[in-house]
Amino acid sequence: MAEPGLAPEIAHIRGACGHDCPDTCGWVVGVRDGVAQSLVGDPTHPFTRGTLCAKVNHYLERVYHPDRVLHPLKRVGAKGEGRFTRVTWNEALTDIAARWLAIADRHGAEAILPYSSAGVQGLIQQASLDMRLFGSMGCSALDRNICGAVASAGMAATLGVGSGIDPEAIVHSRFIVLWGTNTIVTNLHYWPLVRAARERGATVVVVDPVRTRTAEAADCHLAIRPGSDATLALAMMHVIVRDGLVDHDYVTQHAVGYDALVERVRDYAPAAVADAVGLAAEAIERFARAYATTQPSLLRPLIGLEHHRNGAMQFRTIACLPVLTGAWRHRGGGLARSTHALQFAALDMDAVLRPDVWTPGVRVLNMRDLGRDLCDTALAPPVQALMVYGANPAVTIPNQNRVLDGLRRDDLFTVVHDLFVTDTARFADYVLPATSQIEHLDLSPAWGHLYLALNRPAIPPRGESLCNTELFRRLAHALGRTEPWLFDRDDSMVRAALASGHPWLAGITYDRLWNDGFARLQAPADWRPFATGGFPTRSGKAELYSEPLREQGLDPLPAGNRPTGTGLQLISGKALHFLNSGYSHIERHRSRNGTLYIELHADDARTRGVVTGAVVRVWSDVGEVQAVCQVSDRVRPGVVWMPFGGLTDAGGAARSVNALTAEAPTDWGGGTGYYDTFVEVAPV
């Protein structure tokens, strides 16, 4: 209690952003009387450096937004209508447990599908007690591969893993390729490191079909045709082999399949593939030579290459480049992608997820196919109950119309746990209130760097909201379960994860994180994972030729196989003021992106008779939306761009760009080719 007449003291509490983003920023929340007054980037966090982003600068508006769900809600209107009435937690939990038990009794527990993604990205709130509960019940499992899995699987075919070097080592690089990633928009806190490298003499090249903000800020932008990156990489290898730029010593010692690769790249002379790639042969020649002769050289891809039907092959192929040039030898050389695998290898994940209590052999459903599976009456057993948390599949999964048809099913019992009545929640039988990141405890392993943060709760849960772990403890209780591992406390799960004994966690204790907020994994200062080989592939070497791929009936060699279609190729990228579908219903953010729009090249606009500002019809094989037309020189002819997020379309319908995408599977890795969508555009 403060002295009378003095302002009550503000407490400053360290935490970390829980959004699905590579940056996982450290933040400091100023709290008075249980109310958050301020939230700023942690100035002591080396990656955050005291700044947040266009979204999280206004995070407290999200926390205190009038539309936040603060009590359990039960549906009273039709599915999709979004009419609910307030009920007690007891009523909601009792009914949900009874419905689940009845469904499991009648159809088997596999008729229950838990569906979650990285809406809250952290160790225990993202996945812990939920996995134990649903796993032990024998519910259907979910294959989560719309983000990162394809890239990892593709890279692993060449390198054995989906992770590369410590991204912070980029400051040592002299030639940086930001390959299918829009750093300034999606990975903002990485940009100062790119700039630092540049100040030390590095050249920055962006490979992206769209002239993004990042492309504009680079030394060179290669506006490639979408999906032709593997072809470009093979042409680069052609030049590298032809001009004697191969690090033979490295390749001989640490790679297999070099001769077969040389044979393969013969057909990929820059002049032969220039059209397919959409770049001039001389530009490819110059790029290849600069890349191979400037060391350390670093490739930095994130998601852009993965959301294609040939997504895994794109990653598998570009991962061959630093092997041929021996870039892995150098500090700051090689490839830097997600650090997810490094963080999770250090933590004791089995202690958190407890796979030992899961029912073996349960059905696995791919999140990409949610619409198809919900609509499939022949599925045995059919999905009768859906529990969505930390995800908004009505907006984010391909073929939105099919997802909505599935959610509309009268005999489907749907529960959604979220902070807001999302487009998915509008179809729920129960909407359960979730805490925001400043209301719960979590450990935050980042996928864009090697810092680990402890997110301390700064304020009590608002209203009757519950964090994910507490929700699953209560659901377990309502289901009549008593096993102690379904009721583990949040801090004990974090402590257990930190107690792995992994050398990179040496000295990183719960108490230290509680005081400092974050710690850097204890990777060696000059960590070069593959400087002397040691690739965790079957052969123990980098696999330029892959026997495991051949055994799966796939091309054992890198290949340029650009998916094609008729019409305009639609890229639907991340938006500056949204976090995937998040923030799009908040006016401040929405007004900055406006109504659904489409950018297209002047030539394509002319032949279709559409002009800037006009409302146009955009359709594909699976759906149609209305969008505001924006003639733009950011895209090349044949390519169009639309923002991804939960915008209403220009006709006022709650349709996102995923009304146009189809559930096209990737070559391997189980993902989907969001960006291999072909559309036509016409005046309304």
Ligand X SMILES: Nc1nc2c(c(=O)[nH]1)N[C@H]1C(S)=C(S)[C@@H](COP(=O)(O)OP(=O)(O)OC[C@H]3O[C@@H](n4cnc5c(=O)[nH]c(N)nc54)[C@H](O)[C@@H]3O)O[C@H]1N2
Picked from Mo ion, ligand X, none, the partner binding residue 207 (CB below 5 to 8 A depending on kind) is ligand X
Shortest distance, CB of residue 553 to Mo ion, whole angstroms?
A: 29
Compare residues 616 and 664 and give the one whose CB is closer to ligand X.
664
Does position 150 interact with Mo ion (CB under 5 A)? The reply is no
Reduced to 3 states, what is the DSSP secondary structure of residue 576? coil
Provide the pairing of β-strand 175-179 with 141-143. Answer: unpaired
DSSP string, 428-490: -SEEEEB--GGGS-EEEE-SSSSEEEEE---SPPSTT-B-HHHHHHHHHHHTT---GGGS--H
Q: What is the rounded CA–CA span in Å between residue 142 and residue 597?
A: 32
Picked from ligand X, Mo ion, none, the partner binding residue 262 (CB below 5 to 8 A depending on kind) is none
Structure tokens at 34: 């249980």
Picked from Mo ion, ligand X, none, the partner binding residue 371 (CB below 5 to 8 A depending on kind) is none
The one-letter amino acid at 505: L
Picked from ligand X, Mo ion, none, the partner binding residue 146 (CB below 5 to 8 A depending on kind) is ligand X
Picked from ligand X, Mo ion, none, the partner binding residue 338 (CB below 5 to 8 A depending on kind) is none
Picked from Mo ion, ligand X, none, the partner binding residue 302 (CB below 5 to 8 A depending on kind) is ligand X
User: Segment contacting Mo ion (CB under 5 A): 146-154, 170-178, 439-447, 608-616?
Assistant: 146-154
Picked from Mo ion, ligand X, none, the partner binding residue 419 (CB below 5 to 8 A depending on kind) is ligand X
273 phi/psi in degrees, rounded to 5: -110, 0
Q: How many CA atoms lie within 13 A of 112 on its CB side?
A: 24
Shortest distance, CB of residue 147 to Mo ion, whole angstroms?
A: 3
Q: Which of residues 297-326 bind Mo ion (CB under 5 A)?
A: none
User: Segment contacting Mo ion (CB under 5 A): 144-152, 192-200, 342-350, 420-428?
Assistant: 144-152
Place of tokens 């009273």: 76
Picked from Mo ion, ligand X, none, the partner binding residue 673 (CB below 5 to 8 A depending on kind) is none
Rounded-to-10 torsion of CA 627, 628, 630, 636: 0
Q: What is the rounded CA–CA span in Å between residue 69 and residue 638?
A: 43
Q: Output the residue with the shortest Cβ distance to Mo ion.
A: 147
Shortest distance, CB of residue 247 to ligand X, whole angstroms?
A: 25
Q: What is the rounded CA–CA span in Å between residue 70 and residue 126?
A: 20
Compare residues 332 and 457 and give the one whose CB is closer to ligand X.
457
In terms of Cβ atoms closer than 10 Å to its own Cβ (0-12, 13-18, 19+), residue 351 is middle
Compare residues 33 and 275 and give the one whose CB is closer to ligand X.
275
Termini Cα distance of the chain: 63
Shortest distance, CB of residue 396 to Mo ion, whole angstroms?
A: 9
The one-letter amino acid at 466: L
Compare residues 394 and 493 and give the one whose CB is closer to Mo ion.
394
Shortest distance, CB of residue 60 to ligand X, whole angstroms?
A: 15
DSSP string, 54-107: TTGGGHHHHHT-TT---S-EEE-S-TTT--EEE--HHHHHHHHHHHHHHHHHHH
Picked from ligand X, Mo ion, none, the partner binding residue 392 (CB below 5 to 8 A depending on kind) is ligand X
Compare residues 466 and 505 and give the one whose CB is closer to ligand X.
466
Q: What is the rounded CA–CA span in Å between residue 404 and residue 402?
A: 5
Q: What is the rounded CA–CA span in Å between residue 566 and residue 678?
A: 6
Q: Which of residues 352-411 bind Mo ion (CB under 5 A)?
A: none
Compare residues 214 and 537 and give the one whose CB is closer to ligand X.
214
Q: What are the CA-CA distances from residue 679 to residues 64, 570, 622, 648, 682 (Å)?
A: 40, 7, 10, 19, 10
Does position 147 interact with Mo ion (CB under 5 A)? The reply is yes
Shortest distance, CB of residue 397 to Mo ion, whole angstroms?
A: 12
Picked from ligand X, Mo ion, none, the partner binding residue 118 (CB below 5 to 8 A depending on kind) is ligand X
Picked from Mo ion, ligand X, none, the partner binding residue 445 (CB below 5 to 8 A depending on kind) is none
Structure tokens at 192: 């100062």
Structure tokens at 158: 């060449």
Picked from ligand X, Mo ion, none, the partner binding residue 100 (CB below 5 to 8 A depending on kind) is none
Q: What is the rounded CA–CA span in Å between residue 52 and residue 579?
A: 13
User: Segment contacting Mo ion (CB under 5 A): 147-155, 256-264, 433-441, 560-568?
Assistant: 147-155
Structure tokens at 45: 């966090």
Q: What is the rounded CA–CA span in Å between residue 212 and residue 182?
A: 7
Paired residues of 207 in beta bridges = 179, 222
Picked from Mo ion, ligand X, none, the partner binding residue 298 (CB below 5 to 8 A depending on kind) is none
Compare residues 131 and 302 and give the one whose CB is closer to ligand X.
302
The one-letter amino acid at 298: L
Instruction: Return the H-helix or E-strand segment holding 190.
Output: none
Shortest distance, CB of residue 452 to Mo ion, whole angstroms?
A: 20
Compare residues 142 and 519 and give the one whose CB is closer to Mo ion.
142
Q: What is the rounded CA–CA span in Å between residue 583 and residue 634?
A: 25
Shortest distance, CB of residue 680 to ligand X, whole angstroms?
A: 18
Shortest distance, CB of residue 18 to Mo ion, whole angstroms?
A: 14
Picked from ligand X, Mo ion, none, the partner binding residue 305 (CB below 5 to 8 A depending on kind) is ligand X
Compare residues 329 and 449 and give the one whose CB is closer to ligand X.
449
Which residues make up the interface to ligand X (CB under 6 A)? Answer: 20-21, 117-120, 125, 146-147, 179-182, 185-187, 207-210, 212, 224, 226-227, 229, 302-305, 308, 389-393, 396, 417-420, 422, 434-435, 468, 571-576, 578-582, 644, 657-658, 661, 674-675
Compare residues 25 and 240 and give the one whose CB is closer to ligand X.
25
Q: What number of other Cβ atoms are within 10 A of residue 249's Cβ?
A: 10
Shortest distance, CB of residue 525 to ligand X, whole angstroms?
A: 28
Compare residues 247 and 667 and give the one whose CB is closer to ligand X.
667
Rounded-to-10 torsion of CA 619, 625, 631, 634: -80
Structure tokens at 348: 């004791």
Shortest distance, CB of residue 417 to ligand X, whole angstroms?
A: 4
User: Segment contacting Mo ion (CB under 5 A): 141-149, 396-404, 419-427, 646-654?
Assistant: 141-149
Paired residues of 29 in beta bridges = 13, 39
Instruction: Return the H-helix or E-strand segment holding 327.
Output: none
Q: How many helices (DSSP H) and strands (DSSP E) are in the chain? A: 26, 27
Q: Which of residues 490-549 bind Mo ion (CB under 5 A)?
A: none
Reduced to 3 states, what is the DSSP secondary structure of residue 282? helix
Q: Cis link prior to 296 (omega < 30° from 0)?
A: yes
Asked if 311 contacts 667 with a C-beta cutoff of 8 angstroms, the reply is: yes
Compare residues 250 and 389 and give the one whose CB is closer to ligand X.
389
* 515: Cβ contacts below 8 Å, ≥ 6 apart: none
Shortest distance, CB of residue 72 to ligand X, whole angstroms?
A: 13
Shortest distance, CB of residue 5 to ligand X, whole angstroms?
A: 39
Picked from ligand X, Mo ion, none, the partner binding residue 119 (CB below 5 to 8 A depending on kind) is ligand X
Compare residues 333 and 582 and give the one whose CB is closer to Mo ion.
582
In terms of Cβ atoms closer than 10 Å to its own Cβ (0-12, 13-18, 19+), residue 45 is buried
Compare residues 449 and 574 and give the one whose CB is closer to ligand X.
574
Rounded-to-10 torsion of CA 281, 286, 289, 292: -100
Shortest distance, CB of residue 227 to ligand X, whole angstroms?
A: 5
Compare residues 172 and 337 and give the one whose CB is closer to ligand X.
337
Shortest distance, CB of residue 12 to ligand X, whole angstroms?
A: 22
Compare residues 443 and 579 and give the one whose CB is closer to ligand X.
579
Q: What is the DSSP letter of 635?
A: B
Q: Which chain residues interact with Mo ion by CB under 5 A?
A: 147
